[in-house]
Structure 1
Amino acid sequence: MASPQLKYASLGVLVFQTTSLVLTMRYSRTLQSDGPRYLASSAVVLAEVMKIAACVLLVLNEHSYSMRALNSILRQEILNKPIETLKLAIPSGIYTLQNNLLYVALSNLDAATYQVTYQLKILTTALFSVSMLGRKLGMYQWISLLILMAGVALVQWPSDSAATSQEASSASSQFVGVVAVLVACCSSGFAGVYFEKILKESKQSVWIRNIQLGMFGLVFGTFGMLLYDGQKVWESGMLQGYNTITWAVVLLQALGGLVIAAVIKYADNILKGFATSISIILSTLISYFWLQDFVPTSIFFIGAILVIAATFLYGYESKSAASTSRA
């Protein structure tokens, strides 16, 4: 059992990673600069490169930094098991789509609205878990999912302000952002459950699995970048518009999943609920006071409170069920 200090350190890491990625990504997509804006597709590709490098270092660390052992395990687990490796192509392609959609979402939504709406991934993950893994949900979990949907609906409720051309344009932009988040939630739920199913069916290291995911992600991401931004890459290069903030976004996106995977075993569902709640609150405050792209309404607050409550209720039920099954 992890110590309380380790649990709360995990909570801090989760809050920092979740909040900083959303806010820096939103800031980077709205920052006015003289040159061209950086290409989101290239940021996704570079994040995959960094993720692969980080996982290779972790595998090296597990084998006392022996290059011979690294070559042996990569050949044995990846090249000699092509069918097992190919299984990762499906979730990898979906994750690549999801990562690109997050840039679209945060180019059109403020960080607070994005954070709350993206919690619908709890719903999609639960539904895919029931259908693909045969998992059973408790009564409180089903209630929490209904509360979650109600909360997100309230957050998206249109304001009563007068309609102007600027507001109409903003509404159109918000619609694009919401659609991007909804598709990302569906892809996140399916890919996450599919990946969990693969992990349970094999004994491979999670870092090896992430290397396999990263390899396919690099291929899919590069194809997408050349397909949608090939002309821009040819004219100005992959790194056009990059600055310190952009590199911070790439680094956070690359290491975010690995950090969460490393700390999730120390943080139970209640603490993950705390992390989500604190992240939503911080995103709201920073969006209002610093980014100044968000004006909260009473309906938004009610919706956010419902989403936070649903997150706690869902996590509490999961913890109770796990405790009962271990008894």
Structure 2
Amino acid sequence: MVLVASHSHGLKYASLGVLVLQTTSLVLTMRYSRTLKTEQHYLASSAVVSAEVLKIFACTLLVVMENNFSMQALTQLLREEIVSKPAETMKLAIPAGIYTLQNNLLYVALSNLDAATYQVTYQLKILTTALFSVSMLGKTLSLNQWFSLLLLMSGVTLVQWPAESEGDSQQTVGRQSQVVGLMAVLMACVSSGFAGVYFEKILKGTKQSVWLRNIQLGLFGFAFGIGGMAMYDGERVRQSGMFQGYNGITWTVVVLQAGGGLIVAVVIKYADNILKGFATSVSIITSAFISYVFLEDFNPTSIFFLGSALVIGATFLYGYEGKPVATGINKI
């Protein structure tokens, strides 16, 4: 019994480390890649498509493993569950399209906001997910959870409050615009909340594995991603190719975005709500520190620290009941 308990504690703390690493590394590398001085920046739409391809490959491999590495079983399963059930498959077109939009918005956000401000503001997805869960799934929130959502909104408002000493200079720096970044994060939070709850609703009504569902999502996401890339960056792709501006940092971002959700989906069952809240807190603090010391694009203020404290407190309070709403964690 002692060994089992010790093993369980070890898995929890390992989960905490993975959650912090995944959450922080993706944000910081994405921010760095978008602000790196280079002759040619990579296309965000191309990175989104590349990540979808990697997700499809990873989930396909997991489905093959579930079927004892039988390619015949994989082919039969895909035919029965995807090709032969077009109505069920088409249900995933909606969340896939929204997730594709969300992924593109995150690149816009991190092109205009420092990692710390983005990390804190993006916690508003807790609010949007809660509201969609109440309206779409009929879930009931406790008084503590409603109060935590109020704290969350207050904290994010303070984080976005312009510093007096900076004035209008904070709004636009070089090619960066705080207003554009904020709008991108807010839209990403709304899309994350709706798509996460919609996906949860679909998962509850099916016996399919989450990996098979993610293959379906990935296929739609790939199609939407290709369409978006052709619409917004078609001319640049024709001139310099889809992988223009790619380097080691770019591929790191793509791999982190593709594999991050997979890692979290595997370890999340070992981390309780307190640990998840702690992981979020450590990630925010780490992002702020690295942004200030290494990226040098973040100047913390007392108002930012107060807002961050409220957001961190709200995260802990919301998960304290042990009955959190969905956060789209099954989408990778």
TM range (shorter): over 0.9
Cα 1:309/1:68, change in 2 over 3 Å: same
Q: Which residue of the partner structure matches residue 17 of structure 1?
A: 22
The question of 1:156 aligning with 2:163 is answered no
Cα 1:168/1:83, change in 2 over 3 Å: closer
Equivalent residues in 2 for 1:237-276, closer than 5 Å: 237-276=241-280
Cα 1:240/1:62, change in 2 over 3 Å: same
The question of 1:46 aligning with 2:66 is answered no
Which deviates more, 16-25 or 61-70? 61-70
User: TM-score under structure 1 normalisation?
Assistant: 0.95
Runs of at least 5 residues in structure 2 that lack an aligned partner in the other structure: 326-332
Q: Which residue of the partner structure matches residue 308 of structure 1?
A: 312
- Once the two structures are superposed, what CA deviation does each residue of 1:221-255 show, in whole Å capped at 9, x if it has no partner? 00000000000000000000000000000000011
Q: Which residue of the partner structure matches residue 174 of structure 1?
A: 178
CA contact 1:268–1:319 (8 Å) conserved in 2: no
Cα 1:192/1:68, change in 2 over 3 Å: same
**Displacement after TM superposition at 1:257 (Å):** 1.4
Q: Which residue of the partner structure matches residue 329 of structure 2?
A: none
Equivalent residues in 2 for 1:1-327, closer than 5 Å: 3-33=8-38, 35-161=39-165, 163=167, 166-170=169-173, 173-319=177-323
Which deviates more, 6-15 or 92-101? 6-15
Partners in 2 of 1:15 and 1:183 — Cα distance? 24
**Displacement after TM superposition at 1:24 (Å):** 0.1
**Displacement after TM superposition at 1:74 (Å):** 0.9
Number of residue pairs the alignment of both structures matches: 319
**Displacement after TM superposition at 1:105 (Å):** 0.0
CA contact 2:171–2:179 (8 Å) conserved in 1: no
Partners in 2 of 1:145 and 1:257 — Cα distance? 24
CA contact 1:148–1:310 (8 Å) conserved in 2: yes
Partners in 1 of 2:311 and 2:170 — Cα distance? 26
Partners in 2 of 1:48 and 1:167 — Cα distance? 34
- Once the two structures are superposed, what CA deviation does each residue of 1:118-173 show, in whole Å capped at 9, x if it has no partner? 00000000000000000000000000000000000000011011546x54523970
Partners in 2 of 1:251 and 1:194 — Cα distance? 25
**Displacement after TM superposition at 1:318 (Å):** 3.0
Partners in 1 of 2:79 and 2:271 — Cα distance? 34
Runs of at least 5 residues in structure 1 that lack an aligned partner in the other structure: 322-327
Partners in 2 of 1:211 and 1:320 — Cα distance? 26
Amino acid at match of 1:126: A
**Displacement after TM superposition at 1:20 (Å):** 0.2
**Displacement after TM superposition at 1:16 (Å):** 0.5
Partners in 2 of 1:10 and 1:167 — Cα distance? 37
Q: Could you say what secondary structure the match of 1:131 adopts?
A: helix
**Displacement after TM superposition at 1:319 (Å):** 4.6
Cα 1:168/1:188, change in 2 over 3 Å: closer
CA contact 2:145–2:317 (8 Å) conserved in 1: yes
CA contact 2:26–2:256 (8 Å) conserved in 1: yes
Between the aligned residues of both structures, percent identity stands at 71
Partners in 1 of 2:247 and 2:173 — Cα distance? 27
Cα 1:293/1:206, change in 2 over 3 Å: same
